[in-house]
Chains A and B, each alone.
Chain A
Amino acid sequence: MGEKKLLTGDEAVARGAWEAGLLFASAYPGTPSTEILENLAEYKPDVYAEWAPNEKVALESAIGASMAGVRSLAAMKHVGVNVAADPLFTFSYTGVTGGMVLVSADDPGLHSSQNEQDNRNYANAAKLLMLEPSDSAECVKFTKLGFELSERFDTPVLLRMTTRVCHSKSLVELSERQEAPIIPYQPNIQKYVMTPANARVRRAKLSDRFQYELAFSEGEAVEMGLNRMELRATESAGEHIGVVCSGVAYQYAKEVFGENASYLKLGVTWPMPVNLVREFRSKVDKLYIVEEVDPYMENQIRAAGIDCIGKEVIPEWDELNTDIVRKAVFGQSSPTLTTELETVARPPALCAGCPHRGLFYALTKRKDIIITGDIGCYTLGSAPPLSAMHSTFCMGGSISTGHGAAKALEKAGSNLKIVAVIGDSTFFHTGVNSLMNVTYNGSNIITIILDNRITAMTGQQQNPGTGYTLQGEIAPEADIPKLCAAIGIKEENIFVVNPLRLDETNAALDKAFASDNASVIITKWPCILKKLQGEETSLYESLGNVCYIDQEKCKNCKICTKTGCVAIYNGDRVEINEAMCVGCTLCIQTCPFDAIIER
């Protein structure tokens, strides 16, 4: 027996892919998927792993690697699959050469996402063989199997995970890596050039592929234990309850229904093994479908005319747990302690010393503006006391929503000014296209690129602007000012400032607000959590020392608290928590009485 280790689901997917002989992996970071690539990067030189600027690029690169004959993987969070959906649907037609696994990490309960879409629907829509692991051991097993099934059925395989599978640790038995043979490249125009004529031929083949995959899901997958019935002991008494479940919901169901129920645990959920469900139904008195978010399995089971209980009791949104399932099905809850005392919320906030704070503070002083926002730490600029963001939809959306709003306001004769706020990594993701639209279609919005020299929200990943790759190679740094100029922003409308210097920031904002043309302000200062490398250590020396408030001079005007700095405590008197202060000196610049002093 191999060594047993506690691994998260993400670590286990990386392990499984490495064991399966994976050669190429690409991803854009996104919680809860990020650690898959971070862990794969550690398997160098066996595995080549990279951060792509966005999920579409990641998937297309993995498609290319598969076409070139090697096993490849792309990983992304659920909303990332939306970005990659264009190549995905057509890749399903072409099929693969080397096995290809696409990992979709969904986030039921919206722990760190803007929606909780259920990506199992993509399997149905794009006709992708889908595997749903329910713990880390299955993450290894299903990932390895994914490559085999991909090659066998000539299809990309969707490995669908959720936050609790990605970020829970459970025991995994480790195996050695088996190199996968590299398939020599042979041009195949009919397979890979999806002109309508070729695509029609490939589309026709999908129906056959579905039949083979269905036969697998209902036959071999059962023999392999992927889709398995766990029938209760014959001596069990009472109403025979059957439960169909997949993913982490299986774990909750096992705890709630216990030994007296039977289970149909599905690992392959597209194609849905409907005949297997029918057979299972015939063995039980009552059938429950326990699944998180959408009635994905339930709808298919009902469509097949099988009587079941699903979303009429199981919540259709938010994540499940044992407690929720027990209450939903049996109306029982565990006794809990209660208290009259009320807790105060603990929302996340920009860190002490975060460069974004300076910019947002400066924006709070501007009147008649709409600030369109984007996805990243800086979305926290929408929280009080800054409250300096009015919309956030998706990666890269700030500039384009701002552009549309500006055009509409112009037509309406409004004098509201649009400021679009976007991070460096988000700008590279899809913001560049949006900025091209601003210059091409001529809106005069102010785009602010918050260049904190790293992809911060997901935990410090490199990107095209940072000068390093995922596996630590030195890379050219994308030059944001030059890029903006090349797109068509006038040189005199491009500003680079240190956002923790309010005078610099305000001067750039003044010029941008005064201009009739589109402007770009790049606020360039590293994330306070970034470990500086190379020349950055001298480029970004600390701005100052830890600060304190001279209570003699302080008039308690509380202006410094409007920065929302988490090191400033607004009690009866304002105080600075010196253990948290990093000496960014922003508060000093806001104080009208020179009462804040550096140590």
Chain B
Amino acid sequence: MSNTKAILLVGVGGQGTILASKILSEGLVSAGFDVKMSEIHGMSQRGGNVSTQIRYGEKVYSPIIGKGEADVIVAFEVMEALRWIEYLTEGGNFIINNYEIPSVPILMGAAKYPQGILDELSSKAKTRILNANAIAEKLGNKQTQNIVLLGAAIRALSDSGDTALNAIAWKEIITRNVKAAFTEVNIQAFEEGLRAN
């Protein structure tokens, strides 16, 4: 459906894509959208690539995103952004965490990590590059890089005209989804993500 938006979150097992997707989905539900979210489990837990797909709008049918249909791709890892390039829609946004995780063939010395990905993607689509890991580390909690990226994704959607997202009580939803001891640092991470440009 044309009034449906699609967000793809891609990364590597253990990067926290699922929590970010959960918070995003709950926020969208609270704003009255119909929301579907799909994730792939299983072998991805062993260092494989992971993807979460979120579609929202007045009425959503398909829980998954086809090629050329994602309005925003949030890549938690550089090469994963490249892997999913075909899924971005014309005029869509990339949000890329400037962080590289070599995969097994690279670790084994059987392949080289591809060079020049950020330049390549920036030349093809609107691309925001963040050092989410560095930001999170500066806040004192490396784990919060996923929430930094969540903030950046919401900013990108809002900038592209989805102003309904600004009214969502994101901080409340974050608070509901993280352990009390980590609420403050996650909210800071979220704000850093919103500010990053």
The interface of chain A, by Cβ under 8 A from chain B, is: 4, 6, 31-32, 111-112, 135, 163-164, 167-171, 248, 250-252, 254-255, 321-324, 326, 333-339, 341-351, 377, 380, 383-385, 457, 459, 558, 561, 564, 566, 568-571
Contact = CB atoms under 8 A, between A and B. Distances in A.
A569 B34 contact: no
A566 B38 contact: no
Nearest to A558: B109
B47 A344 contact: no
Contact of B104 (A31, A164, A347): A347
Given A32-B41, A170-B35, A349-B46, A324 B66 contact: yes
A335 B90 contact: yes
Interface residues of B, number: 61
Contacts of B112: 344
B37 interface: yes
Contacts of B25: 6, 169
A565 to B, nearest CB: 8
Contacts, number: 174
B64 A167 contact: no
Given A32-B41, A334-B67, A341-B116, A349 B34 contact: no
Interface stretch (B81-89, B177-185, B186-194): B81-89
Contact of B38 (A164, A250, A351, A377): A164
A112 B36 contact: no
B41 A344 contact: no
Interface of B: 1, 12-13, 25-26, 29, 34-49, 60-69, 79-80, 82-83, 85-90, 102-114, 116-117, 120-121, 124-125
A351 B63 contact: no
A570 B110 CA distance: 9
B48 A168 contact: no
Contacts of A112: 41-43
A171 B85 CA distance: 29
Contact of A384 (B12, B39, B108): B108
Contacts of A333: 67-68
Contacts of A380: 46
Given A6-B35, A346-B47, A380-B46, A323 B69 contact: yes
Contact of B42 (A32, A170, A342, A346): A32
B69 A561 contact: no
Given A339-B85, A342-B114, A346-B103, A164 B63 contact: yes
A570 B61 contact: no
A569 B46 contact: no
Contact of B120 (A31, A339, A350): A339
A171 B46 contact: no
Contacts of B90: 335
Contacts of A338: 85-86
